[in-house]
Structure 1
Amino acid sequence: MATTVQTFVPEQLTEVSFPITTLSATVIIQIPERFSVFEAVSLKQTCQDLIQGDTRPQEIIFDFQKTTFMDSSGLGALINSWKTTQEAKIIMLLRNVTPQVLAVLNLTELHQVFAIESSSTTPSIAANQVVNIQKISPRQKEQLPATHTSVGSWIKRSIDIVGALVGLVITGILLIPVAIAIQIDDPGPIFFGQIRCGWMGKRFKIWKFRSMCVDAEAKKSQVKNQVQGAFFKNEHDPRITRVGTFIRRTSIDELPQFWNVLKGDMSLVGTRPPTPDEVERYEVPEWQRLDVKPGMTGEWQVNGRSTVRSFEDVIRLDLLYQKNWSLSYDLQLIFKTVAVLFNKNSGAC
């Protein structure tokens, strides 16, 4: 995965440094005001250097007193550091967590994982003892970072709501014939729900018409992954049913996702929503793809989703969408998606 990091992180990130204070066996790292991809990758390297150094600390404290912005990459750096310190049996503690950072931790429920100290004079709190952190209040919700312009666009959200309502009407019309076909071909649940990671890594359940056999998840380990990197695909997956092949080729299986769009977990247009096990394999820079809401369609959908064989290509397409985003660009991708649906060579992501 090292080559992936070099692909979309500029070399100047090595110039980012953190004020470090050493007190006996405790190391305090001052996190800067902005905690984004450059700082995140540098922090990961800083932690590795500390752990691999001649004098390994017993405790590493991240001081967030000055931090007013943290995006997905910053979150990824914290998760990576937590895993590294856990393996090295080093205590990791978050200190002086600002409302902006706390809002992100609450969003992803990581406040239940990390040990958090409210101030420099408060005793350390073990992760399993963090019970007094309040739920996000309306004011705290406003502190969530504007990681990308599209996230805060009310026009985009309005288009999502209108599109989702229209899509749910279409879904309702097709529901009965699709349900009958699924039951005849492979009796079992009509819908398939799977946990995916959305904006900032927040988990949600995505819905589809079931296109695989009932025990597909249990059989996943028996199917060869034909792509490289942190996602799974097999062009001739034996778990896919006959009806499943058709509804995947026509993308009918994805119609229930209009419910996810209406709820706000997804957008009509965005990035590919990854599974938690995929995110577990992310390097810090790859978390950038979670700076926008996942979408029912996007660059990956209209640029050969069935032919993408490298995770680097997925990242490239996702970052391309973030770079080029505009309301008109979203509409272009929607129109292109409709055209792709009539292409017999298009396949499910």
Structure 2
Amino acid sequence: MDSSVSSLIRTSYLEQPSAEQAVHPSVYSKRKRLIDIAGALVGLGITAILTVPIAIAMQFDSPGPIFYSQVRCGLRGKPFRIWKFRSMVVDADQKKHLVRNQAQGHIFKNENDPRITRVGRFLRRTSLDELPQFWNVLMGEMSLVGTRPPTPDEVQKYDSHHFERLKVKPGMTGEWQAKGRSNVKDFEDIVRMDIDYQRQWSILYDLYLIFRTIAVVFAGQGAY
């Protein structure tokens, strides 16, 4: 990401009142971090097993890179590179302006996005596209449970109350993934759910959201 954009995001966050800058207690939880490391190691083992069949299917369907990376904003707006299995055509970012946004606010969603490949649609429906993010969790850039990691262009448009989301590490899952997934199309609803997560947070609540997410994924609810 351009250093000037990164600096702007960090400055925007640091300009918030000191109470808003304070990070959430979950950031300092050793138990949460141990669960993240254990879960990431297990997840990366599963990822290693599934990478070959996913890569083969992907090359038959839409030849190109196996992985897709994108800059996202983490704790206190710090940029990091998130990793996923590629679920769209190779030049998807250049074609984004051709697709209508069906969401409201600072997010982009389209239920029938033509850029998504056939294999990619399966990966998204089963959340297999997100398996490489276990690497981000192991590196400490993400947590198993947290808030949705925003893109830099989203953060640049934030109002003051939106920065509350950046007080915790972004998560592979969280309140909105476990209770709505792609059916949540209003950015303000995502913000509300992310803040609700911070208010309710505990180790047991993290485990609840993890198991609820697994159940939702297996049921095939709310993803596209």
**Aligned equivalents of 2:10, 2:136: Cα separation in 1:** 24
Partner of 1:323: 199
Say if 2:74 and 2:170, in contact at 8 Å, map to a contact too: yes
Task: Supply the distance in 1 between the matched residues of 2:138 and 2:221 (Cα, whole angstroms).
Answer: 29
The correspondence for 1:76, drawn from 13, 35, 40, is 13
Residue aligned with 2:219, SS: coil
Dislocated runs of 4+, deviation >6 Å: none
Displacement after TM superposition at 1:325 (Å): 0.2
TM-score of the pair, normalised by structure 1: 0.59
Could you tell me how far 1:74 is from its partner in structure 2?
A: 8.5
Give matches, 1:51-200, under 5 Å: 75-76=12-13, 78=15, 147-200=23-76
Amino acid aligned to 1:173: I
Are the aligned partners of 1:267 and 1:294 in contact in 2 as well (CA < 8 Å)?
Answer: yes
How far, CA to CA, are the matches of 1:147 and 1:295 in structure 2? 15
Residue of structure 1 equivalent to 2:5: none
Separation (CA, whole Å) in 1 of partners of 2:55 and 2:148: 26
Please give the root-mean-square deviation of Cα atoms over the aligned residues, in Å: 1.8
Tell me by how many angstroms 1:186 deviates.
0.3
Deviations 1:66-113 (A, max 9, x none): xxxxxx99843638xxxxxxxxxxxxxxxxxxxxx9xxxxxxxxxxxx
Deviation track 1:164-220 (CA, whole Å, cap 9, x = no partner) reads 000000000001000001111000000000000000000000000000000000001
Q: Is the 8 A contact 2:10 2:77 kept in 1?
A: no
**Distance in 1, Cα, partners of 2:161 & 2:10:** 6
Picking from 323, 341, 345, the partner of 2:217 is 341
Q: Tell me how far apart the structure 2 counterparts of residues 146 and 319 of structure 1 sit (CA, whole Å).
A: 14
Q: Is the 8 A contact 2:145 2:173 kept in 1?
A: yes
* AA at the equivalent of 2:60: I
Select the residue among 212, 225, 242 that pairs with 2:118. 242
1:295 counterpart = 2:175: no
Please tell me whether the aligned partners of residues 198 and 265 of structure 1 are also in contact (alpha carbons under 8 angstroms): yes
Aligned to 2:80: 204
* Aligned mates of 1:178, 1:297 — CA distance in 2: 22
Aligned to 1:252: 128
Contact 1:77–1:284 (CA under 8 A) maintained in structure 2: no
> Is the 8 Å Cα contact of residues 73 and 284 (structure 1) preserved in structure 2?
no
Tell me the alpha carbon deviations over residues 210-262 of structure 1, each in whole angstroms, 9 at most, x when there is no partner.
00000000001111110110111111110000000001000000000000000
Q: In structure 1, what residue type is equivalent to 2:127?
A: S
Aligned to 1:282: 158
Please list the CA deviations of residues 17-41 of structure 1 after superposition, one character each: whole Å capped at 9, or x if unmatched.
Answer: xxxxxxxxxxxxxxxxxxxxxxxxx
Q: Secondary structure, in 3 states, of the residue corresponding to 1:335?
A: helix
**CA deviation string 1:124-177 (max 9, x = no partner):** xxxxxxxxxxxxxxxxxxxxx751110000110010000000000000000100
Larger radius of gyration: 1
Percent identity over paired residues: 62
Letter in 1 for 2:121: T
TM-score by length of 2: 0.91
User: What is the CA–CA distance in structure 2 between the aligned matches of 1:224 and 1:343, rounded to whole Å?
Assistant: 28
Unaligned runs of 5+ in 1: 1-71, 80-100, 102-144
Shift of 1:284: 1.2
Gaps of 5+ in 2: 1-8
Asked if structure 2 preserves the Cα contact closer than 8 Å seen for 1:305 and 1:347, the reply is yes
Q: Which has the higher contact order (CA 8 A, sep 6+)?
A: 2
Deviation for aligned residue 1:343 = 1.8
Larger helix percent? 2
Between Structure 1 and Structure 2, how many residues are aligned? 213
